């Protein structure tokens, strides 16, 4: 993408945006301390749920990002409040993994990285560390040596579930962290095998990506790609592509495989080349302005995080380009997508799409053109990354 002509977010705007996010998170504490945010808002407002969905870690992650911001800006009372609430949520995550409540899937990283790994990194909370290691142990039970991948959903012996999904790349930093803190290489070895299998199969020749990819249950041989949440099998689901961008940045961070730089860039360019005028994608990259389809603003925030992570490992010139693009994405999110009126929403970023049913996909229909929990979280993460050399949770 040529960033010429596209405004970038300015440091004063980052400050304003983070102050808004912090205030909104604080306002939400009475509702979401002993309860969690639903994955998506309804008419702009999140409802309370128990800690049972794959998305519950994002709200706790927002508490930690807000805590960091409050501490740095000497808002000590607010930092203390956030810390207290986050600790209550970490205990909930401890109980969830200990009692194996709704953990029969691969999203242990999405759940435990922004909640418990963050808690351990920021406050040396040993109970959070224990919870996150249990979550890593749970995640590796889903690894198939026949095919070398972590199975996303469903029971492990069903041919119709013998598949990985691109989103899983963000579950893997939990495994690298587990190896780092335990000294046991089994977590890292499984992550590395999964990454290579994913890279070899979900990225198509033109660098668009499959959402899900199947393997033969008897031989492990790659079988075929398909979509669940994208418009149709051959299209590129915007968020899948975004998970691919951030996922490849994380993969490079942990493996330093040269091949992944090229894959990162290819998947990124495909995403950028399919952006509409205001740089925020429609829910599937097949669509553009005039198609009257909903947007997925969360994809832009996820890609901004991937760009800012990858900028650490490339030449100065390339890093400047990646940071400039991230700045443009964030400027558009800040100007046109961030919630401005707290009477209209208790979230942070509008116009995301969770699950948009089409005649050609297999997902249910909910959370369309709403806030969603990861969209809010990754917006805050991207702003945080812009504001300092962030000690990342992932
Ligand atoms: N990981 C599921 C989603 O992005 O909707």
Provide φ and ψ at 290, rounded to 5°. Answer: 95, -15
Q: Which of 285, 153, 274, 257 is nearest to 213 (CA)?
A: 153
Taking the CA of residue 374 as reference, the ligand 1 atom at the shortest distance is: 4
Rounded Cα gap, residues 97 and 166, in angstroms: 24
Distance 73 CA to ligand 1 centre (A): 33
Taking the CA of residue 243 as reference, the ligand 1 atom at the shortest distance is: 4
**Which residue among 153, 168, 236, 239 is best mutated to probe the pocket of ligand 1, counting the most ligand atoms within 8 A of its Cβ?**
239
**Which residue among 106, 167, 172 is best mutated to probe the pocket of ligand 1, counting the most ligand atoms within 8 A of its Cβ?**
167
Distance 92 CA to ligand 1 centre (A): 22
Cβ < 6 Å from ligand 1: which residues?
A: 167, 229, 239, 354
The pair of structure tokens assigned to 250 is 């994380």
Instruction: For residue 160, give the DSSP letter.
Output: G
pLDDT of residue 239: 98
pLDDT of residue 4: 64
Q: In the chain, which residues have pLDDT < 50? A: none
Taking the CA of residue 298 as reference, the ligand 1 atom at the shortest distance is: 4
**Which residue among 58, 109, 374 is best mutated to probe the pocket of ligand 1, counting the most ligand atoms within 8 A of its Cβ?**
374
Distance 235 CA to ligand 1 centre (A): 16
Residue at token pair 């969690």: 36
pLDDT of residue 2: 65
Distance 354 CA to ligand 1 centre (A): 7
Distance 98 CA to ligand 1 centre (A): 24
List residues with catalytic annotation: 107, 167
**Which residue among 40, 229, 353 is best mutated to probe the pocket of ligand 1, counting the most ligand atoms within 8 A of its Cβ?**
229
Q: Is 36 helix (H, G, I), strand (E, B) or coil?
A: strand
Distance 159 CA to ligand 1 centre (A): 22
- Kindly report the protein residue whose alpha carbon is nearest to atom 1 of ligand 1: 167
Q: Is 349 helix (H, G, I), strand (E, B) or coil?
A: strand
- Kindly report the protein residue whose alpha carbon is nearest to atom 2 of ligand 1: 167
pLDDT of residue 5: 83
- Kindly report the protein residue whose alpha carbon is nearest to atom 5 of ligand 1: 354
- Compute CA 282 distance to the chain's CA centroid, rounded to the nearest angstrom: 17
Provide φ and ψ at 329, rounded to 5°. Answer: -60, -45
pLDDT of residue 3: 76
Taking the CA of residue 240 as reference, the ligand 1 atom at the shortest distance is: 4
Distance 172 CA to ligand 1 centre (A): 15
Taking the CA of residue 110 as reference, the ligand 1 atom at the shortest distance is: 1
Entry pTM:
0.98
Alpha-helix runs per DSSP H in the chain: 11-28, 56-72, 76-98, 108-112, 118-123, 126-140, 173-182, 186-202, 238-255, 258-273, 297-310, 316-336, 373-387
Q: Which of 103, 167, 166 is nearest to 135 (CA)?
A: 103
């Amino acid at each position: 993408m040529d960033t010429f002509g596209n405004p970038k977010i300015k440091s004063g705007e980052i400050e304003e945006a983070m102050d808004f996010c912090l205030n909104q998170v604080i306002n939400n504490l009475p509702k979401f301390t002993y309860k969690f945010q639903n994955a998506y808002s309804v008419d702009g407002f999140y409802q309370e749920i128990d800690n049972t969905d794959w998305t519950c870690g994002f709200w706790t992650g927002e508490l930690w990002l807000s805590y960091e911001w409050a501490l740095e800006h000497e808002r000590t009372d607010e930092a203390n409040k956030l810390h207290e609430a986050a600790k209550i949520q970490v205990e909930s995550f401890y109980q969830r993994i200990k009692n194996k409540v709704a953990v029969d899937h691969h999203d242990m990283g999405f759940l435990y990285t922004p909640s418990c790994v963050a808690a351990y990194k920021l406050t040396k909370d040993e109970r959070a560390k224990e919870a996150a290691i249990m979550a890593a142990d749970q995640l590796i039970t889903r690894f198939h040596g026949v095919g070398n991948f972590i199975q996303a959903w469903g029971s492990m012996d069903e041919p119709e579930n013998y598949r990985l999904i691109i989103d899983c790349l963000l579950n893997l930093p939990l495994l690298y962290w587990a190896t780092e803190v335990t000294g046991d290489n089994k977590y890292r070895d499984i992550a590395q095998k999964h990454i290579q299998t994913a890279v070899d199969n979900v990225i198509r020749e033109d660098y668009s990506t499959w959402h899900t990819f199947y393997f033969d249950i008897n031989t492990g041989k790659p079988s075929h790609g398909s979509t669940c949440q994208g418009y149709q099998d051959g299209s590129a689901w915007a968020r899948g592509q975004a998970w691919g961008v951030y996922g490849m940045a994380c993969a490079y961070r942990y493996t330093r495989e040269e091949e992944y730089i090229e894959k990162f860039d290819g998947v990124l360019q495909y995403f950028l080349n399919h952006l509409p005028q205001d740089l925020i994608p429609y829910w599937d990259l097949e669509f553009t302005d005039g198609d009257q389809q909903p947007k997925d603003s969360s994809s832009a925030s996820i890609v901004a995080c991937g760009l800012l992570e990858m900028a650490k490992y490339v030449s100065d010139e390339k890093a400047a380009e990646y940071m400039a693009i991230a700045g443009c994405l964030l400027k558009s999110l800040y100007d046109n997508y961030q919630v401005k009126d707290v009477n209209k929403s208790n979230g942070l970023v509008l116009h995301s799409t969770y699950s948009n049913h089409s005649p050609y996909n297999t997902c249910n229909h909910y959370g369309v053109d709403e806030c969603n929990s990861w969209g809010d979280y990754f917006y805050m993460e991207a702003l945080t990354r812009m504001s300092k050399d962030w000690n990342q949770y992932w």
